[in-house]
Amino acid sequence: MGKAGEAARLLRHVGPRLLIPLVAVELATAGAPLAIIAVIGVLVGRVAGDGAVAGPLAALTGLLLLQQLVGPFRAAVAFRAVRRVDGTVRGRVMEVANRSLSIAPLEDPDVLDRLELAGGTVDPFWDASPGGAAVAVVSRVGRYLQVAGAAWLLARVSVPVALGLTALVLVTYANVRRWNRTRLAAVRGNIALGRASRYTSGLTNTPPAAKEVRLFGVLDWLEERFKGEWEVVSSGRLRPLRWASLRAAALLLVLTPAVAWGFAVLAGSGASPRSLAVALQAGVALFALLFDLRQDDAYQIDFGLEALDVLRDLEATIGAPGPGHGAAGADGLPGEAIRFEGVRFAYPGTTREVFTGLDLTIHAGTSLAIVGGNGAGKTTLIKLLARMHEPQGGIIRVDGTPLDEFDPAAWRRRLAVIFQDFVRYELPASDNVGFGGVDLVGDERALEAAATKAGAAEVIRPLPAGWDTPLNRQYTGGADLSGGEWQRVALARALFAVEAGAGILVLDEPTANLDVRAEAALFEDFLDLTRGLTTILISHRFSTVRHADRIVVLEGGCVVEDGSHDELLAAGGRYAGMFQLQAARFRD
């Protein structure tokens, strides 16, 4: 059915209660001008024949009033229809973006470019969307009815002129669709640079970057960079538009003599004043439709459906997890141990292997600290454990069962993780903690318990609205937190996940933003916090990792040392060297 058929299929998301009024107003929009032409013909005939004109004048007044009233009503109905369709499509975009078990697709620049196209407007110079395309199909039907009606009125005086003007309308529309394809190619060609320009612009006016760009005096540099990027983006898109406008103007010049000939034929046809008035108005209407048809409706269909085309491509690329991705529950796991057996892994698009054959056993109910230099794979190990990425070799087992045999959602509910780059949600404090276990978000007792253990209760209680305070000063009644305060909130989120049933606690640099006293207080309670849990601790601070039951050192993609703090110091290996180096800084 082509693009128009695709757009029409989207109308099922509008619903009959809204679709019927939409069709009605479009038919009224198309039919009112034709009715006005017919009534004016009657009026001219009455005037020429000295007949009564009161009836035609009253009808003309009513039709003109209807034409003015239907416009705002049509805009309101169309807006609601567009919103419904776009909401459905954007919901599909969110679903496909989160469909993959791993986060690898979201680290792929090509996928990010396509998500940008699928998620909304593909051209910043004109608002087009799948919802706009769906409504444009209804509008297009009305315009075609208008063309057919005007052609029929014109054919009553001259069939050749009616056929000629109608053919010109269709030829013009076909050319515009071809020009739109050229513009679409330009849009898709520089979407990556468009993303980059929006990032550059955001650096100049968003609070997280505002301090540094002003402090280092790079505002002017960023503004110039943005101008350069935007010039490339806009010129790449405007060039096809400019050529399309020139071609449209050239087509108009070519068509004008043909239209003039048509009017001349009508004038010399010898038709009655009434018939001639109707035919001339119908000809003018067709001439106007030559350029009405080439504008908004065609643009909406072509550009609005581009998002849908890209979305379908993404849905095919990022397939839904199949039955092979596991359906077993994970309650109570691990009961014995988690084992990495010969695990090999390299990030997509890179050749360097982070793990070259990792063998590691994490015993249930104990605490394990992981240390190593930057890039050793400490955080990567956690991503593999959480199935944010899949290993390219080897296997991860939980109590002897391969990890990929467990239901991913059920397994992740067993994990309570603070990543080093934890999210600072610009939402109320209750959500920032409650996201650790969404099933318990409304449980005030559990929220308070997690916050108290993490030392976040003393941060949250003094806030203007307590737990209901948005954690960003940009919002009314909001508040900003320091880095250390955010760290405590993030820790509370992980501990709230434990309250919700998680049995594996992962702390990735949990004290990076805490002062010495807060860090000491946290690890005084370390045994209480981790009792009964399988705990994985990642830190560069050896005063922190020494609290763990066992410590492993990662290097070169595998475990090179394994033991308790005292055992590793006595061995005098890499761990002992790193510990002595860090301790010497404090002794000196």
Highest mean pLDDT among 33-47, 115-129, 254-268, 317-331: 33-47
Please name each of the domains of the chain with its CATH number: 2-188+265-317 (1.20.1560.10), 333-414+504-511+533-588 (3.40.50.300), 421-502 (3.40.50.300)
Q: Sign of the C-alpha dihedral, residues 525, 526, 527, 529?
A: positive
Please say whether the beta carbons of 148 and 341 come within 8 A.
no
- DSSP state at residue 320: P
Tokens 């955001």 sit on residue: 202
Please give the order of strands across the beta sheet that includes 415-418. Answer: 415-418, 504-508, 534-538, 367-372, 550-555, 558-563
Residue 222 has pLDDT above 70, yes or no: yes
Sorted by sequence, the CB contacts under 8 Å of residue 180 that are 6+ apart come out as 244, 298, 299, 302, 303
Sorted by sequence, the CB contacts under 8 Å of residue 492 that are 6+ apart come out as 433, 436, 450, 451, 453, 454, 456
Encoded tokens for 251 = 């087509």
Element holding 291 (H helix, E strand): helix 273-292
Q: Which residue has the higher pLDDT, 185 or 568?
A: 568
List, in sequence order, every residue forming a beta bridge with 534; answer none if it has no partner.
504
Instruction: Give the three-class secondary structure for 133.
Output: helix
How large is the average pLDDT for residues 483-505? 93
CB atoms within 10 A of CB 257: 9
CA-wise closest residue to 317 among 497, 502, 108, 158: 108
Q: DSSP states of 76-112 as a string?
A: HHHHHHHHHHHHHHHHHHHHHHTTSSSSGGGG-HHHH
Write down the pLDDT at residue 236: 66
What SS3 string covers 434-489? HHHHHHHCCCHHHHHHHHHHHCCHHHHCCCCCHHHCECCCCCCCCCCCCHHHHHHH
- DSSP state at residue 323: G
Lowest model confidence (mean pLDDT) among 77-86, 118-127, 380-389: 118-127
Give the rounded percent of residues in the chain with a pLDDT score beyond 90.
32
Model pTM score? 0.76
Instruction: Give the three-class secondary structure for 376.
Output: coil
How large is the average pLDDT for residues 169-197? 72
How large is the average pLDDT for residues 394-400? 95
pLDDT digits 0-9 by tens, 13-28: 898 889 999 999 988 9
Q: CA-to-CA distance for 391 and 387, rounded, in angstroms?
A: 9
Write down the pLDDT at residue 274: 83
CB atoms within 10 A of CB 424: 16
Q: Which residue has the higher pLDDT, 566 or 526?
A: 566
CA-wise closest residue to 482 among 504, 523, 526, 515: 515
What are the C-alpha distances in Å from 259 to residues 40, 86, 265? Answer: 22, 40, 10
Q: DSSP states of 150-174 as a string?
A: HHHHHHTT-HHHHHHHHHHHHHHHH
Q: CA-to-CA distance for 146 and 288, rounded, in angstroms?
A: 11
Write down the pLDDT at residue 323: 47
